[in-house]
Structure 1
Amino acid sequence: MSTIDLAYTYLGNYINNQELQQKIEAARAARRCLDIELGQDDQAKSRIYTKSTSNVPIGIIKKRGWMLSEGDVFKTQQGNLLIIHLKACELMVLSFSNEQSGYALPLIHLGHTLGNHHYPIFVTQDKIYIQLVADKDIIEKTIQKFNIPGLKVTYETQSFEHYLKLTSNMHFHSH
């Protein structure tokens, strides 16, 4: 049985960090870099057991409430760099089936309620995207309580690259 390589030292996110990108290149050249793919369910866990894409057992220990992101980098106990990749995720999409007006206040209340439940949302010109961090039936029931005519609920699976484009102006907060 292989030894689990534990990761709990967070180095940052390489996506906009040139220095970290260079460290990753050097680690890859030295064969000291591990990649893992995590699903949405794993992002918020404080203890994660998985295997790298090269089949190395990995344990990640992090603070509760911290959502892992694409490009997060950890240093493991064995001196490897561990790169986090997120699998494509399913999103709930809210749109209007026809031209509706006069529902600004219920939509504001809906946005407030979704925010209070800590459901990550982002808005484009004609759609509201909700990351499914809870059971979709629960989220749908929450939305249905607002009884907004013409509001349509659909689902899309998005690659992380598309998700990044959608969320580039998204803001998060913590309590």
Structure 2
Amino acid sequence: MKIFSEVIGNIHADKNLATKIDGYDIEYLHLDQWTAQKSRFIVTGDKGTQCAVALKRNHQLIEGDILEIDNDNRRALVAAIELNPVFVIDLSEIEKLDKLQIIQTCIELGHAIGNQHWPAVIKGTKVYVPLTVDRKVMKSVMDTHAIPGVTYSFEEGSAVIPYLAPHEIRNLFGGTSQESHAHVHDHTPGITTDAHGHDGHAVPHSHDGGHTFHTHEH
């Protein structure tokens, strides 16, 4: 059994490494999103290599992390995370508005997201939110607020990875297994959702470069 305590690099973040192992025989460690959040576990690669991963505390593998490069045999060991879909909020339309309208729209969106305690990563004019609750709940929240100029869609996690830095990938896909504090009254026939949330003012907090919205009672 091979033991790994460090990550060499990431094929999505380091183009030189990606080029270096291009054409190598890649063995992938297929992990579900929750296993990947652990710092210690045992996994067998798709070509039979049994690996013990023992990273430093509070460290975790992300999609594309390289654990081993064998240049002599032109082989590499790479983590492949089965990522959950992502809720993508698009703000590109509000760029056309005046400054005051942009500020108002962003505050309204921050309030909507913060009220649900949804973690979020902001990249350019897009806000990436992991699926912490059912899609119908997230859609209902956005439709209820109906913020002008703000659109949304659901995308596969693997599709948004190329647009994110490693710390943003961790913020987006790490630690999303906890239950949401969403409070939604969905009046759509056949849908009943009433998880308790907290009304207040949404304040963005930055964690390792990403932005997570929380609400504070006054």
Q: TM-score range by the shorter chain?
A: 0.5 to 0.7
Change (3 A) 1:110 1:165: farther
Q: Which runs of 5+ in 2 are unaligned?
A: 70-74, 95-100, 172-206, 210-218
Q: In the alignment, is the contact (CA less than 8 A) between 2:5 and 2:54 conserved in 1?
A: yes
Task: Return the letter of the residue paired with 2:130.
Answer: Q
Q: CA RMSD in A?
A: 4.5
TM-superposed deviation, 1:92: 2.2
Alignment of 1:80-159 (within 5 A): 81-94=76-89, 102-110=104-112, 119-123=119-123, 125=125, 128-132=127-131, 135-137=132-134, 140=137, 144=141, 148-149=145-146, 155-159=154-158
Give 1:105 deviation, angstroms.
Answer: 1.9
Identical aligned residues as a percent? 17
CA contact (8 A) 2:7 2:66 kept: yes
* Correspondences of 1:1-175 after superposition (within 5 Å): 4-14=1-11, 15-16=13-14, 18=16, 21-22=19-20, 24=21, 28=24, 34-75=27-68, 81-94=76-89, 102-110=104-112, 119-123=119-123, 125=125, 128-132=127-131, 135-137=132-134, 140=137, 144=141, 148-149=145-146, 155-159=154-158, 162-167=159-164, 173-174=207-208
TM-score by length of 2: 0.49
The alignment covers a number of residue pairs equal to 153
SS at match of 1:34: strand
> How has the CA–CA distance of structure 1 residues 47 and 67 changed in structure 2, closer, same or farther, with 3 Å as cutoff?
closer
What TM-score do the two structures reach when normalised by structure 1? 0.57
Q: Distance in 2 between matches of 1:68 and 1:108?
A: 29
Equivalent position SS for 2:61: coil
